[in-house]
Amino acid sequence: MQLLYSMFVLLTAPVVVFACEGQCIVDITNEYLRRYTPVMLYVLQDMAEQISTDLVPPSARRASPITYFGPVLDAYNSTAYAGLENAIFPSYFHGKCQDADGVDPAGCPDPDCPIVCGTPGSMVHFYAKLRSIAFEQTTAMLANLTKPSSATYKEVEKLVMADVNTARRRTLDNLSRIIPSQGQTLSNKHGMRDIQQSLQGIMKQLPQLMGQKCGAPKLSRCSWEKAMKAYILSFP
Ligand SMILES: *[C@@H]1O[C@H](CO)[C@@H](O)[C@H](O)[C@H]1NC(C)=O
Ligand SMILES: *[C@@H]1O[C@H](CO)[C@@H](O)[C@H](O)[C@H]1NC(C)=O
Ligand SMILES: *[C@@H]1O[C@H](CO)[C@@H](O)[C@H](O)[C@H]1NC(C)=O
């Protein structure tokens, strides 16, 4: 009877949830996205400037080379949230903090819980892991969007090639004004392949540039530890 009564109480007692759920998940994911936006733009800007100076002749250079990455930024914008939310919760931080006997270890569920589980206290205790998940996920996503087999890489390549061709046409026009019979016979097939290879070489730097910008391996510049811990603990 006692046992039955206990079970009844357990099953019907209102459940007080101490876990990062709902708005907590949404807000923490968005906070990392917000903090990574200037990091990502800095790295893409660096690569865009290399593309412009190394591959595009001056006569067709853009005022804002970052526009080459328009397709990447669009795709990042529409997929980054889901990817990051999934990488943090539930891939790593989820579940209850209680041990096999249903007891919450000291510091759990909050504010500093030494068990991997789905509460703010656990995210604070394992902050180094959380920091690296955010970095790895953001870097992997951007690497995906700039690898040669991706649709977004091909769109960027098309934009670059169009500018290179514009520059070539202008040079040819000038040339044929000077030496009319020569201009149209210049072939640019070989040059195009070189440019594709150089572009892939620039894109390949992305993980390394992200690491440099963030101060890898410690990620000291993409940690925001104090502010993020306070923010995380602001959720019940
Ligand atoms: C996507 O763009 C919208 C509108 O500019 C912005 O509010 C949002 O934060 C962006 N999302 C990401 C993941 O950058
Ligand atoms: C990268 O792309 C692969 C294959 O399309 C996909 O399985 C993986 O989840 C992607 N990774 C990220 C971080 O978006
Ligand atoms: C073509 O010639 C014009 C006029 O001489 C010059 O201003 C322009 O820079 C030249 N363009 C290229 C691509 O050589």
Task: Give rounded-to-5 percent helix, strand, coil for the chain.
Answer: 70, 0, 30
Cα gap 74→80, rounded to integer Å: 10
Instruction: Tell how far the Cα of 42 is from the centroid of ligand 1, in angstroms.
Output: 16
Q: What residue has token string 């990620």?
A: 219
Query: Has residue 9 got a pLDDT over 60?
Result: no
Instruction: Tell how far the Cα of 124 is from the centroid of ligand 1, in angstroms.
Output: 26
Give the residue, 179 or 108, on which the prediction is more confident. 108
pLDDT tens profile 156-187? 999 999 999 999 888 888 888 887 665 455 55
Q: What is the largest CA-CA distance in the chain?
A: 105
Task: Return the ligand 1 atom nearest residue 33 CA.
Answer: 13
How confident is the model over 205-214, as a mean pLDDT? Answer: 98
Instruction: Tell how far the Cα of 83 is from the centroid of ligand 1, in angstroms.
Output: 14
Query: Has residue 7 got a pLDDT over 60?
Result: no
Query: Has residue 20 got a pLDDT over 50?
Result: yes
Give 174-211 as a DSSP string.
Answer: HHHHHSTTTGGG---HHHHHHHHHHHHHHHHTHHHHHH
How confident is the model over 186-191, as a mean pLDDT? Answer: 61
> Is 129 in contact with 136 (CB distance < 8 Å)?
no
- Angle, nearest 10°, between helix axes 151-178 and 189-204? 140
- Please name which of 125, 134, 131, 123 lies closest in space to residue 93, comparing C-alpha atoms: 123
